[in-house]
Amino acid sequence: MLTAAKAGTEFGYALLLPLVDRIPVLYLVQEMTARLGVVTGRGYAELLRERYGFGWAAVAVISMAAIDLLRRLPVAAWTLVLTRGGRKPGFDHAAAP
């Protein structure tokens, strides 16, 4: 949430058109992946490994994991700062007047 707010303050509406432009492509990829899973009964990485080999499946899985991790790190860092920043360990909120 904080990352989106910061991007909004820095770029304003400049990112709106590229975002709207990519929504159909993102929807199409999600739909195709879901249909592959329903029809074959197997996951996307398993199908990639079968068709293109272990190397390309590993590239796909590692890149998806890296993107997910990089997307979550700023949120985790800000959560840590906002929830524990400036407080001593063992500080009890209920005992504070």
The total number of structural domains in the chain stands at 1
CB 17 within 8 A of CB 25: no
The verdict on residue 22 lying in a domain is yes
CB 48 within 8 A of CB 57: yes
The verdict on residue 96 lying in a domain is no
Task: List the domain range (segments joined by +) for residue 68.
Answer: 2-84
The verdict on residue 61 lying in a domain is yes
What whole-number distance in Å separates Cα of residue 87 and Cα of residue 20?
42
The verdict on residue 93 lying in a domain is no
Tell me the pLDDT tens digit for each residue of 30-71. Answer: 899 899 989 999 988 899 999 999 999 999 889 988 888 877
The verdict on residue 97 lying in a domain is no
pTM above 0.85, yes or no: no
Q: What is the pLDDT of residue 9?
A: 78
The verdict on residue 91 lying in a domain is no
33-35-39 Cα angle (round to 5): 120
CA distances for 35 relative to 26, 31, 41, angstroms: 14, 6, 10
The verdict on residue 94 lying in a domain is no
